[in-house]
Amino acid sequence: MNPVIEQLRSHRSIRKFTDRQIPRDLFEAFIRAGQAAATSSHVQAYSIIHVVTPENRAILAELAGGQPYIADSSDFLVFCADMKRSTDAAERAGADVVRGMTEHLLVASVDTALMAQNIAVAAESEGVGLCYIGGIRNNPAEVSKLLRLPDHVYPVFGMCLGYPDQQPEVKPRLPLESILKTDYYQDTDDAAQVDAFDSEMRRYYQQRTGSNKDTTWSEQLKPLFTTKVRPHMRTFLQDRGFEMK
């Protein structure tokens, strides 16, 4: 296994950071590495808001559901799917532009994620830790207002970056056979594979260093799926010009 693959496989989310700041040239190198990711039709449908004002970071930490590391990390980024820049450019070049297609939502969300993951990999290659913050979608309208996001731009997730002040274990993943299928989707073995994974996760949760608990993967999923999770997302996206036509 080469060092890059080894690095990828040793990822874990970091939620406790030292006071050490990421040097600015390194930070820029991470962003440029992000930009180098593949992008659909070269659209580059993303913008990053680098939140530096402490007051705004404190507000975002609350809006994301009380996640103090948003304020405590060296750098906090909000990754936005951005269909404004490219459609504005096409419009300035004389195009009669159609906006708000469902496809645009997908393209921009995927472009944003590919870029962000490159930033994550670049950061970890320099010993910087990170965690993604999906909680930014808890209150996306307030987040958008705070960051002054225009129409056709929406916050997909955040990312905390900084030097780790904790060394959590790598969290297990589903068995490879469960997610990799040959030629056709079949899930006849799915229940058995999930059972085995549940046992593995129970051992992991019992034995891990921080916040031990007696639970499984399936049990952990239950509260996620028994409620209408983030029911505001549809209306929020439509209000911001992602009309999903």
Subset of residues 86 to 125 that bind a copy of itself, contact rule: CB under 8 A: 86-99, 101-104, 106-107, 109-110, 113-114, 116-118, 120-122, 125
Structural contact between residues 115 and 33, judged by C-beta atoms closer than 8 angstroms: no
9 is a site residue for a copy of itself (CB under 8 A): yes
Q: Which tokens in the block code for residue 168?
A: 């959590």
Name every residue whose Cβ is closer than 8 Å to that of residue 145 and which is 6 or more positions away in sequence. Answer: none
State the DSSP string of 52-78. Answer: --HHHHHHHHHHTTS-THHHHSSEEEE
208 is a site residue for a copy of itself (CB under 8 A): no
Q: Which of 141, 147, 168, 196 binds a copy of itself (CB under 8 A)?
A: 147
141 is a site residue for a copy of itself (CB under 8 A): no
Structural contact between residues 137 and 233, judged by C-beta atoms closer than 8 angstroms: yes
Site string for a copy of itself, 167-206 (x = CB under 8 A): ---xx-xx-x-xxxxxxxxxx--xx--x------------
Q: Taking CB under 8 A as the criterion, which residues in 44-73 touch a copy of itself?
A: 44, 46-53, 56
Q: Closest CB to a copy of itself among 209 and 226?
A: 226
What stretch of H or E contains 106?
helix 102-125
